[in-house]
Structures are given as C-alpha cells and as structure tokens.
Chain A
Amino acid sequence: MNSSGWLQLAVFIGALALVTKPIGLYLVQVLDAKGRTWLDPVLQPLERLTYRIMGVDAAKEHDWRRYTLAMLLFSLASCVSTYAILRLQHLLPLNPQGLGPLSPDLAFNTAVSFTTNTNWQSYSGESTMSYLSQMVALTLHNFVSASVGIGIAAALVRAVSRHSAKTIGNFWVDLVRTTYFLLLPLCLVFAVVLVSQGMIQNFKPYTKARLVEPIKVSVEKKNDKGEIVLGADSGPVMEEQIVVEQLIVQGPMASQVAIKMLGTNGGGYANANAAHPYENPTPLSNFLQMLSIFAIGSGLTYYLGRMTKNQAHGWSVWGAMMTLFLAGVLVCWWAEARGNPVHQSLGIAALDGNMEGKEVRFGIFKSALFATITTDASCGAVNAMHDSFTAIGGVVPLFNMELGEVVIGGVGAGLYGMLVFVVLAVFIAGLMVGRTPEYLGKKIHAYDVKMAMLSLLVLTLSILGFTAWAAVSPWGLAGLNNTGPHGLSEILYAYSSATANNGSAFAGLTANTPWYNTTLGLAMLTGRFLMIVPIMALAGSLVQKKISPPSAGTFPVSGGTFIILLIGTVLLIGALNFLPVLALGPIVEHFLTAQGHLF
C-alpha cells in the first residue's frame, strides 16, 4: 500500500465529489418533463417527434401501478424482441460471417442479461453474435436499460419529495429524456475523450499481425465439419499448432465503451474487457472509465438532495456510500498488496503483491480500485481477473454485490436500493428518538416496511437459493473447474453477480450450459424486476403521505450519526445473511491458503 496508491485514491474521490453536483443539477432538469437544458434546441424536436410516434402525452403523469406496468411491458417487449433476433439471426441481415442461431437457453440468458442492465455474457461475442445482434442487444439495451434504472430512481425520489399526491412521473418521458438528454450527449463527449487516449473507433476489418516470437499451442483437433475429434478415451484429441500471426480487434470501440461505463453496463467490446490495451489504453483512460462508472450514480444522490430540499441528506447518503466504498477499496488493496503466501513461500511472488491475473500496466492498486468500483456499481467491466484475487481480495467484489449494489450502485438501481436501506434505517433507529419513524417527514408504516423487506428478501432468496441448488445439483457441479471452497466462491459469485445485475464473473465456472443459462437468467430477472416492483409499491405508498414538518424531535437524516446508522443497517440487515456462505467459501479458502493450500 504505497503513497502513489493513496494519492490516486484521494484524486479519485476528489474528482468524483467535483462531478457530483453538476451532474446532479443536470439530472434535475433532465428528469423533469418541463426541465430546461442547453441542449433543448437540438434535442427537443427529436423528443417531441418520439412522443408523437409513441403516442405519449408527455404532460400526463402516472401513479406507481401504471409507471411500473409501462416499465415491465417495455422491458418484456425489448427482451422478447432481442430473444427473437438472437434466435433468428441466421435469417436476418448483417450477418456476413453466417453465424447460426443461438440456443434457446443462451438466447434467453443473453436477452435477459441485457434487458436487466446486467451484461452477463455466457458467450464469446465475436464468434456468436451477428452485427445486427450486437447492435440491438448491446447498443440499444445499454442505453435503455440504464434509462429504465434512472427512471425508477427518479420516480422513487419524486415519491419521497412530493406529498399527498398520487403520480410519480411518466415512464416514457423518463425513458426518452434520460436517453436523449443525458446518456447520448455524455457518451458522445466521453467517446471523443477516449479516442484521444488512443482507444479505437473505426469500421476496419480485424488487423493481422505477425508475431515477433511464434508460440506453440495445444488445441483440440477438429475434422472437416468443424467437430471435435474424439479419441479412444472419448476425450478430445489434442494437436499442436504453431501460432505465427495474431488477429487484432478493430471496430467502433470508444462509443461502445462510453455507454458501457456511463450506463454501468460493463459488457466488454473485447473479451479482455478493460484490461485490453485498446479498450483501456492509458492510465488516464483507466481513471476516466472508473470515474464514469460512478458519475451518474453519484450525481443521483445530489439529485435526491435537491429534490427533497435537503441537500445535507443527499450528501449524507453519498457519504455512507463513499465510506463503504473506501472500506472495500482498502481491504481489497491491502489483501492484494499482501500477496499470496504460497507464492511467497515458493519465492515466485511479485514484489508488490498478488499479480496473478492482473494487467501489468495497472498493477495492484488500480486493479483493486477498479474491482471495487465495478462491483460497487453494478457495472461488471473488469481490468483484472477477480477469480485470481487472493481469497480476501475476492471477498470484496463478492460482498459488494451481495450488499445489493447500493454503494453508488448501478445507474438508478444504486439509489433506489440504498433508499430501501434508508427507509429501514429510519424505521429501526427512528424509533429510538421516541417517535413513529419518519423519513423526511413521512411516517413509515407496516406497508412500507413490508415492501422494503420484500425487496431485500428477494435478493437473499435468489443468491442463496440458486447457489445452494447449484452447489448440490449435478448440473451445477458440472460447470465447476475448481473444487473446494474456491468452487463454492465461483458459484456464489455467479449468482451474486446475476442477482445484483452486475455481470462480472469469477472465471472458472463454465456457465454456458442450459441449466446455468436458465437459472442465471432467472436470477437476473429476480434481482431486477422482483426487486423493483416492491420498491415501486413503496414509492406509491410514500407519495400519498403527508409531510410532517421537521422539529427538534425529528430523526435527523443527515450528518455523521445518520451515516453510521445507514452503514450499520446496510451491513447488519443486508449483508449479515451472507456471512455463513462466505465463511464456507472465501474465508475458509483464506485460512487454507495461509496453510499452503491452493485452489
């Protein structure tokens, strides 16, 4: 843990704090149907045209039921159409490679993955997806799934800030305005900045390059039809090949990466994601990508403060998030810098810590920071292999996702997830000041507690339930390449990532099987929609409540005490449930590694 790391950490947090207010202020305008932005002259005609085509009355707001129904129908329609495209891609245009249709389970998994802002990829893009599939699945969903999340967060914030009302906004207006006014312009600017750092943006064919030093590899032998030849032991026959040239990826990368980060999508253009030299060329691009993951989520906390006319509350929520973030970074950084004791005992350890699975250009700190950020937010882009982190270093991303991705979180999702914890913290601690608990003047009653707990219960059920099933079922164990506690961690990571709509993975799990594709798909749906519905019901209840004016007897929702209580609630209510399974996975692994076992 060197001073350069500390300095970078300070610069990162400082930069994030600086962008929070301007983005928050911009969000106030974007998320108001009558809001004014300086892009109005360019985008307003487009916005109006879109409404006309969709038949949307932008002036009309809806109650939580209609808002949620619109969101669900939109998600269903986009998910089904993506599924159809993936299944029919061999019949559709823009498929020069002649790639075949996706299997039903893979198509389901992929369609769900992009609809839910997860971007879990069970496939390798370049050998599976036609250009049309890429454009629809990736590009469209990257934008709209982010907009949906932001819209839900805005609806919940409106419910908190309004009183004695019924409506919480218009889903279509939120969707259109967020996409047009926020994501498109931001991505445009960000893509240009990324290109300036050397990120590619072209439509060239892949480049062939001669290797300076040819390498020998052992591959599965295939017959003329491209099938794997099986040997006498029914295993594949291996043959040696000398590799002399390399295909270097080309294409419109910068534009994809911009929305991948800003929309906390995380699906990589290249398989190596943000560890690829094109996808993350310089330290500055690395820094800006990390910042862009947090930018909108961070701005939303300012939006919360502005809308509720309690900026201290907004900053306190931000403060609680940043405290949890900081704790994660420090643990992860400390664990990685400490290194792997087995490597050290063998004398093969890198000097500055555990470098296994890390990009040398980034090193320990930038990998640990990136891993924490990408799992705090439900991004899932990676610049190092989380699977190769030390046991404790790997607990951090795992734990972050199990918290429900409330540390800044996915765009929108982080805020609405955190507000559920705020409601619970207010409920439990609020009683301690001797009043019926109230959140910003709104009394929290049985219905609100029920909905808040339901949204949390769903997460726990999905993560623990699917992991437990996978851990004892033959289909689950079939995908496992590692045994022992590390294998459990890999399964746990997969379902945590899917449920939390993160999309990053502990490699080592072969998840492209019908069983995993289906169960992971269900976990993603659960983590997204079964969580959103009770939260929207909570919004529907909050918006109707009267606001009691604050007094000296009111529970304060800002300041240090509130931050501590909020963090305590997140940890005790949100995370305590995962301690036993973490103990059986990474924690046991940690102690075993200390004794010289490797997995």
Chain B
Amino acid sequence: MTHQASSLFDAKIVVPALGDAFQKLDPRLMVKNPVMFVTLVGAVLTTAGIFTAATDRGFIAQLAVWLWFTVLFANFAEAVAEGRGKAQADSLRKARKDTMARRLRGKVEERVAAPDLQKGDLVVCETGDVIPADGEVIEGIASVDEAAITGESAPVVRESGGDRSAVTGGTKVISDRIVVRVTSEKGNAFLDRMISMVEGAQRQKTPNEIALTILLSALTLVFLLVCVTLKPFGTYSATVFSVPVLVALLVCLIPTTIGGLLSAIGISGIDRLIRRNVLATSGRAVEAAGDIDVLLLDKTGTITLGNRMASDFIPAPGVTAARLADAAQLASLADETPEGRSIAVLAKEKFGLRGRDVAEPHAKFVPFTAQTRMSGVDFPLADGKEARSIRKGAAASVKNHVLQLGGTYPEAVARSVDEVSRQGGTPLVVADGRDVLGVIHLKDVVKGGIKERFAQLRKMGIRTVMITGDNPLTAAAIAAEAGVDDFMAQATPEMKLQRIREEQAAGHLVAMTGDGTNDAPALAQADVGVAMNTGTQAAREAGNMVDLDSNPTKLIEIVEIGKQLLMTRGSLTTFSIANDIAKYFAIIPAMLMVTFPSIAPLNIMGLKSPDSAILSAIIFNALIIIALIPLALRGVAYRPIGALALLQRNVLIYGLGGILLPFGGIKLIDVIITTLHLV
C-alpha cells in the first residue's frame, strides 16, 4: 500500500474545499483562531465602511474584498489540508475492509466488514477464518494460530470459560468452530481517531500549537494596541486615520500568514504520516516525534537481517579448510534453518562443493534438540564406506561429545571459538566422529546502508540504542559494526522499560518500536511508541502509533515528519513577523503623506500613491497565504545537517527572505494595480 500524492491540488480535493472555505466563516469556528478572527472582524468593519464613508468608496470596497480574501484563503488552506487527510484515511479504510466477519444476528449469519463490528457483536469463526476483532470465546473450543502476533508457530487452544478464552483480532482458527463476543471498541479505533484528527470539529490543538497560538494572539493584541492608539496620535497630529486604513494596517501587521496556515500545517503533518502507512493516536505524538533524541531499536530485523549467516571456516590444526567445509556441508544438508542453508551455500561458494543428494541412502539426519544442542548426520557402514558421524553445534556440547568418544579437543579450536565470539559471531564447532575439524563462523549480517542511517541520526542529534538478547561480547561487536551509539545486551522486557525510564529521567525523549505483548509496558512508557501492525493488540494499544507496514526502520521517517512539522511552523512564523518591516514601509508613509508631505523619502519602495500603497500591502498579505499553501502542506524540507546549519539555512530563507521578499512583492503589485487603474 503506497499513497502517493497525485498532486498538491487535486480537483477532487480543491473543489469541495472552496465551499468549505465559506462554511468555515462561521464565527464560532473562526474564534478558535484569534489571528484570523481579528481579520474577519476587520473585514466586516471595512465592509461597513463602504457604506458609511463619504469618499473613496471604490478604494474601501477593494480593501474589503481583499480582507475577505485573506480570511477565505486561510480557510481554504485548512480545507485543502483536511480534504487531503480525509482522502488518505478513506483509502486506508477501504484497503482494510478486506477482512470480512461472519456476524450472528440471532441465529442468522451475515457477512460484514471487520471494521464495522461493534463491541458486543457475536461472530462465528471456523477453520481457516481470521478472527476479525479482539474478543472472548463464548462457545466452543478451537486451536488458533497466533503466529502473526506472537511469532510462536505452535497453535494454541482457545476455549470458552477459564483463562484461555481471549482471542486477538488477526489470528487464524486452524480447527473447529468458536463463537466470539467482540470486546474491543468499534472496528478500527486507530483509524477513527486518525480521521477525527484531520477533521476540523474534533481536532485538538497540540501543546506546541497552543504555545504558538498564544504567541500569535499576543502579537495580535500588541498590534491592535498599536493601531488603536494611532487614532489619538493622529488626532494630536491633526491627521485623520480612517477605520478601513487602520484595519488595513492592523491586518498587515498581525501574523496572518502563519495564523492562516497554522492548522493546515498540523493537519498535513498527520496526513504525511498516513501516507507512510503510520497511524498515530494523537497529534501530540507526532510533535513528540520531532523531539526524540534516543531511539531504542531491536537488533533483529532492524539493524541486522533476521538471521545469522556463515561467513568463514576456521579449520583445526592439521585439517584442511576444504575438509571442514565438506563435513560442515554434509551436516547441514538437512538443516532447513537459514543458518544451516547459509553453511551449505558458503561451502559451495568457497570450495566449489556442490550440494549432494540429501536423500543419500542410509544417511540419518540428527536434528537439533535443546538437550544435545547439536545437529548432524550419521552414515552407516555401507558400500565400502566407513561409518561416519558428523556433528555441529555449540562449542561446549561438541567438546563433551568428542571427549565422550575418547577424542581430544584441541587448544587451537578453543582459541578460534573465543576469537569468533569476540568478533560478535556465533561459533559452531564441527566434529567428524572423535576428530574436531574446526569452527564455523556464523555472523549477524548488518543491513546495508544502516550505518549511514545511524550517522544521519547522530547528526540530527539522535542517539541509537541497540536492544538484543545476545551476550555483551556479541552485542558490542555488532553495535560497532552497525555504528549504533549504545547497546543493551541480554535485554529483557523489564530492562527495556527500566532503560526508557532512566533515559527519560535524564531528560531524553525516547522512541521505540515493539510488537510483543511483553513490549507493551515499554511502548506505553516511551514518548513515541510505534507498534507493529503484526503485533499483539496489547502492544498496539500501548503505543501511540501503529506502523501498518511493520517496518521498524520507519521510526526514522516518523522522527523526520515530526521535525518537519515543527520546522514549518517556526519558519512561517519567522517569515510572517519579518514581513512586517516592509509593510510598515509601505503603509506608514502612505498614512502620513497627506499631512506631512515631507515624509516622502520614507516611501523607499516608491509606491505610486497612498491608496495604491495600502492596497498593495493588503493584496500581498492575502496572496502570500495562497502562495505558501503548498509549503504548508508539503512541509519545510528537513535535512540532517545538524541544528546550527539547519537554523542558519532557515533563518536565511525565511528570516532574511521574509524581510526582503515583500519589498519586491508589494512594489510589483503596486505597479500592476496602478497600470490597471484600480486606484
């Protein structure tokens, strides 16, 4: 499932958004955004001014039109962001409808989509059915394959009554029939929450959004004060400042650019997450993702490929590498584990040993057991060949085995075993009868490109901690190879939780991924807990995000989205405030020109007339909102180049650019409107 934006302005989204922009003029909605509410009031006052003014009605009417546009453009931005988010969520919802449930209505069965199930519904599951939702078995007994959730392939028994009555959505009935009462809330709680986050009505402001709104409101109040007091100052200076002109000045000064785009930025942050198939329970979690400075990553599957691979044969003294490889290959022929296959493959690659017929007559394969901790193959005495008994396994087990047979365990092999362990590998010792042939070096294979990824994270100021059940020696070697900053060896779920608490106590914000039920406490404790979609229900409830792709490296993208969200807000705020300088230079001379013609040199942009200057400023102010909608939706690009470089870059673009751009923009608009004789 990939969700690529077709284009920023899809007609299917834009057209309804145009209507929404007008609907959002409802003052009860507008008052949530103080900056735009003040603009709305200004637009109303100016509109009233058209009728009360004695002169200049055409000019005032144009001001009023552009003030209304300013408000509508901001509403439009929000509506477009909502539309995109909704479209995304809808397509997700559709995609997830494929699980069908057999709901019982009295005695009658009906097929409904899993997400439409209500709490308390009864569903029937028979052999081969996927259990559609979390629930409790109220009738029957069945064996259930919970591999998708627990990773345990052996089926478990689930029956009504007692401790074993709980079933989890997504697991599969292998035999028999059960009736399940749904215990979880309606269908896709996550998706529903997600959709409410992009819809205006239920949207909760995130902590940073609240703080920024306070800043913007306070600035609005300050500029309101500036414009209100200008009236008496004008009286003192024998100059009359009309209400529409004061409103124009006010709207230009208050941060309408960021005020108008603030909610669009927040919504599109959520939307970008959905696009990457990540569902979040709250906007707060998305914001927190930007702050993460410690990542706890499971080794297996995230940092290394799932399985260890054979990488080297280290023969015992007096044994050729080819003989060791040959024996190792024979012992592994029937070993269908990835490790076993990798041994056969390595032998073939290194020594050209072709895989022999596994079904060689008389060959008896000895499978791995927890008791012997060895596997291998036995050849009986036949066809003139000697009887052979080849074993491979953990060093201690093979040593015992050899010593029991009256053989010796060479010192050199013991040294090789230690050496391999020190390098982070897993040593397997191979013995043919009572002769120890040597050591196979099994190695964890670090994923390609992961080291660069961690280096990037380091530049972002994020520390990565590898979590593994390996012993400290192995863990350290892999950690060094993968380039993580720290590791936790022989980790248990309790240790994970403890570690998160310690990091948080030291002031860090921690993100982690998890899938098992025993990860749930840690996921809940982490500031950003991303549960894998394949994980247990407990894990998914505990985390504040779910990754539908179950890809642990996605944490990195989540962090980037969080950062982008905050950066976009900061950049547009800076831009908005920096714009004020040029607007002052446009409007203040225009306001004073009539009474004090000598102030003309202050009109550094050389704007045509006071009216054209004021109108140009207000038009620029409205158009910049439209111009910046794509940026608000896409977000300011995040580059992992370190905070200082990033800051300098953004200050240059949005700070300095914010100071300079309106000078050119206002001048250009002034030229256009005077050419068109609008003023």
A residues apposed to B, CB below 8 Å: 163, 424, 427-437, 441, 443-446, 448-450, 453-454, 456-457, 460-461, 464-465, 467-469, 471-472, 485, 487-488, 546-549, 551-556, 559, 561, 564-565, 568, 572-573, 576-577, 579-581, 583-584, 587-588, 591-592, 594-595
* CB-based contact B463/A579 at 8 Å: no
Is the beta-carbon distance between B207 and A445 smaller than 8 angstroms? yes
Give every chain B residue within 8 A of A460 (Cβ-Cβ).
Answer: 222, 225-226
Q: Is residue B506 contacting chain A, with contact meaning CB distance below 8 A?
A: yes
From A434, A467, A576, A587, contact of B290 by CB (8 A): A434
Q: Which residue of B lies closest to A163 (CB)?
A: B507
Closest 7 CB pairs of A and B: A553-B461, A431-B570, A434-B563, A453-B218, A551-B461, A468-B229, A471-B236
B571 adjacent to chain A (CB < 8 Å): yes
B208 at the interface (CB under 8 A from A): yes
B640-669 CB mask vs A (1 if < 8 Å, else 0) is 001110111011001100000000000000
Known A546-B507, A565-B651: A553·B207 in contact at CB below 8 Å: no
Contact stretch, chosen from B491-499, B515-523, B598-606, B619-627 = B598-606
Contact pattern, B 567-600, Cβ under 8 Å of A = 1, otherwise 0: 1011101100110110010001000100010111
Residues from chain A with a CB closer than 8 A to the CB of B588 are: 579-580, 583
The stretch of B34-42, B209-217, B386-394, B536-544 in contact with A is B209-217
B223 at the interface (CB under 8 A from A): yes
Instruction: Say yes or no: A428 contacts B647, CB within 8 Å.
Output: no
Given contacts A429-B647, A432-B647, A594-B598, contact A548 B508 (CB under 8 A): yes
Chain B positions within 8 Å of A437 at CB level: 570
* A561 contacts across to B, CB distance below 8 A: 644, 647-648, 651
- Find out whether the CB atom of B232 lies under 8 angstroms from the CB atom of A551: no
* Contact for A485 among B214, B222, B237, CB less than 8 A: B237
Contact A553–B218 (Cβ < 8 Å): no
CB-defined contacts of B146 to chain A, threshold 8 Å: none
Interface centre among A431, A460, A572, A588 (most CB of B within 10 A): A431
12 contacts between A and B (CB under 8 A): A429-B574, A431-B208, A431-B566, A433-B647, A435-B566, A436-B291, A443-B291, A468-B232, A488-B237, A553-B461, A555-B643, A592-B598
Bound Cα distance from A428 to B249, whole angstroms: 23
Determine the distance from Cα of A554 to Cα of B647 in the docked complex, in whole angstroms: 10
Contact A435 B563 (CB under 8 A): yes
CB distance from B374 to the nearest CB of A (A): 47
* A446-B214, A460-B225, A561-B651 given; 11 more Cβ-contact pairs under 8 Å: A432-B567, A433-B643, A434-B646, A445-B207, A446-B210, A457-B225, A468-B229, A549-B507, A551-B462, A552-B642, A576-B584
The minimal Cβ–Cβ distance linking B183 to chain A, given in whole angstroms, is 37
Assembled-state Cα–Cα distance A250/B580 (Å)? 53
In the complex, what residues of B have CB within 8 A of residue A435's CB?
290-291, 461, 563, 566, 643
Q: B233 an interface residue at 8 Å Cβ cutoff?
A: yes
Q: Which of B85-108 contact A (CB under 8 A)?
A: none
Contact of A432 among B208, B233, B562, B646 (CB under 8 A): B646
The smallest beta-carbon distance between A573 and chain B, in angstroms, is 7
**Which chain B residues in 48-101 approach chain A with CB under 8 Å?**
none
Most buried by B among A163, A433, A445, A454: A433
Q: When each residue 246-271 of chain B gets 1 if its CB lies under 8 Å from chain A and 0 otherwise, what string results?
A: 00010001000000000000000000
Q: How far is the CA of A432 from the CA of B562 in the complex (A)?
A: 12
Contacts of B218 in A (CB 8 A): 449-450, 453-454, 456-457
Rounded to whole angstroms, the CA-CA distance of A546 and B566 in the bound complex is 21
CB distance from A340 to the nearest CB of B (A): 16
A427→B592 contact, CB < 8 A: no
Which B residues lie within 8 Å of A559 (CB)? 644
- Smallest beta-carbon distance A497→chain B, Å: 18
Task: Judge whether A434 and B592 touch: CB under 8 Å.
Answer: no
A376 and B462 CA atoms in complex are apart in Å by: 41
Interface on chain B toward A: helix, strand, loop, or mixed SS? helix
Q: Which residue of B lies closest to A571 (CB)?
A: B581
The answer on a CB contact under 8 Å between B602 and A547 is no
Residue on B nearest A548 in the bound complex, by CB: B507
Q: How many residues of chain B get a CB closer than 8 Å to chain A's CBs? A: 76
Q: Is chain A's interface secondary structure helix, strand, loop, or mixed overall?
A: helix
**Across-interface contacts of B235 in A (CB, < 8 A):** 471-472
CA distance A288 to B249 in the complex (A): 46
Given A431-B573, A432-B571, answer yes or no on A471-B291 (Cβ-Cβ < 8 Å): no
A349→B562 CA distance, assembly (Å): 63
CB-defined contacts of B228 to chain A, threshold 8 Å: 468
Residue of A464, A467, A487, A551 touching B293 (CB-CB under 8 A):
A551
Q: How far is the CB of B603 from chain A (nearest CB, A)?
A: 11
Docked-complex contact B509 and A548, CB < 8 angstroms: yes
Q: In the docked arrangement, what's the CA distance between A389 and B563, Å? A: 50
Closest chain-B Cβ to A313's Cβ sits at a distance in Å of 14
Instruction: Find the A residue at minimum CB distance from B506.
Output: A549
Known: A449-B214, A472-B235. Is A431-B644 also a contact (CB below 8 A)?
A: no
Provide the residues of chain A in CB contact with B290, threshold 8 Å.
Answer: 434-436
Measured CB to CB, the closest approach of chain A to B70, in angstroms, equals 20
Interface residues of B in 442-465 (CB under 8 A from A): 458-463
B646 and chain A: residue at smallest CB distance: A433
List of A residues within 8 angstroms of B460 by Cβ: 552-553
The complex places the Cα of A496 from the Cα of B651 at a distance, in Å, of 31
Asked if B47 is an interface residue, CB under 8 A from chain A, the answer is: no
A12 CB, nearest partner CB in chain B, Å: 30
Interface bits B544-576 vs A (CB < 8 Å: 1, else 0):
000000000000000000111011011101100
Q: Which residues of B contact A580 (CB under 8 A)?
A: 226, 230, 233, 249, 584, 588
| A-side contacts of B563, CB under 8 Å | 434-435
Cβ–Cβ < 8 Å partners of A587 in chain B: 599, 602
How does the 8 Å CB contact mask read for B464-504 relative to A, with 1 for contact and 0 for none? Answer: 00000000000000000000000000000000000000000
Residues of chain B lying within 8 A (CB to CB) of residue A472: 232, 235-236
A453-B215, A457-B222, A592-B596 known; A564-B651 Cβ under 8 A: yes
Expressed in whole angstroms, the Cα–Cα distance for A488 and B642 within the complex equals: 49
Cα distance A469–B231 in the bound complex, in angstroms: 11
Chain B residue, CB-CB nearest to A461: B225
B638 at the interface (CB under 8 A from A): yes
Q: Tell which of A432, A485, A548 has the most Cβ of chain B within 10 Å.
A: A432
Tell me which residues across on chain A come within 8 A of B508, comparing CB atoms. Answer: 548-549
Within the complex, the shortest CB–CB distance from A597 to chain B, in Å, comes to: 8
User: In this complex, what residue of B is CB-closest to A545?
Assistant: B507
Residue of A nearest to B226 (CB): A577
Is B345 on the interface with A (CB-CB < 8 A)?
no
Given contacts A464-B225, A488-B237, A581-B229, contact A431 B643 (CB under 8 A): no
B353 at the interface (CB under 8 A from A): no
**Interface flag for B243 (CB, 8 Å):** no
Q: How far is the CA of A89 from the CA of B601 in the complex (A)?
A: 55
Q: Tell whether A556 pairs with B577 under 8 Å between CB atoms, given A434-B564, A434-B638, A471-B236.
A: no
Residue among B215, B601, B643, B644 facing the most chain A CB atoms (10 A cut-off): B643
What's the minimum C-beta distance from B343 to chain A, rounded to whole angstroms? Answer: 42
Instruction: Provide the bound-state CA to CA distance between A581 and B229, in Å.
Output: 9
A-side contacts of B647, CB under 8 Å: 429, 432-433, 555-556, 561, 565
Asked if B221 CB lies within 8 Å of chain A CBs, one says: yes
Chain A residues within 8 Å of B232, by CB: 468-469, 471-472
Among the interface residues B233, B654, B655, which one has the most CB atoms of the partner chain A within 10 A? B233
Q: Judge if B219 is at the interface, Cβ distance under 8 Å.
A: yes
In Å, the complex CA distance between A236 and B382 comes to 142
Interface contact A468-B233, CB-CB below 8 Å? yes
